[in-house]
């Protein structure tokens, strides 16, 4: 059974700092990996999707990398802002017949202090 772990569980940084969020998964046979953002009381906002054949994706100040063989992904946030404060969730979809099913980590709660 796929398990996804996110480290750290919580992170507090001053505004302007560059930071890295980590995600690991136990079964490297994934179809893709998505990073989401969740604000309190809100649903999930998709940030980046990396297909299993890709190594990284970038969107603005966000960069996500994927090392499928080692079961790891990182989300890099450059020049953090208070508006980046949220919970960041990593999710992988399995290979084979259940490639639509996302398995999530518990998330990293990020606080960016002004």
Residues at the site binding other proteins, with contacts judged by CB under 8 A: 4, 31-32, 34, 36, 41-46, 49, 51, 89, 91, 93-94, 98-107
3-state secondary structure of 29: coil
For residue 65, what are its two tokens? 């990398």
Give 5 or 15: the residue with its C-beta nearer to other proteins. Answer: 5
Cα gap 29→10, rounded to integer Å: 28
Give 54 or 63: the residue with its C-beta nearer to other proteins. Answer: 54
Cα gap 80→112, rounded to integer Å: 7
Give 37 or 84: the residue with its C-beta nearer to other proteins. Answer: 37
CB of residue 12 to other proteins, shortest distance in Å: 18
Question: Which of 36, 37, 58 lies closest to 102, judged by CA?
Answer: 36
Cα gap 6→36, rounded to integer Å: 13
CB of residue 14 to other proteins, shortest distance in Å: 26
CB of residue 79 to other proteins, shortest distance in Å: 25
CB of residue 48 to other proteins, shortest distance in Å: 9
């Amino acid at each position: 059974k796929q398990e996804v772990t996110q480290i750290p569980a919580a992170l507090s940084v001053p505004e302007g700092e560059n930071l890295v969020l980590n995600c690991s998964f136990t079964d490297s046979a994934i179809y893709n990996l998505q990073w989401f953002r969740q604000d309190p009381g809100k649903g999930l906002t998709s940030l980046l999707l990396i297909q299993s054949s890709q190594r990284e994706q970038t969107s603005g100040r966000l960069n996500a990398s994927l090392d499928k063989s080692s079961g790891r992904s990182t989300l890099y946030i450059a020049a953090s802002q208070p508006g980046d404060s949220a919970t960041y969730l990593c999710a992988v979809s399995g290979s084979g017949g259940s490639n639509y099913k996302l398995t999530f980590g518990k998330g990293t709660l990020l606080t960016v202090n002004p």
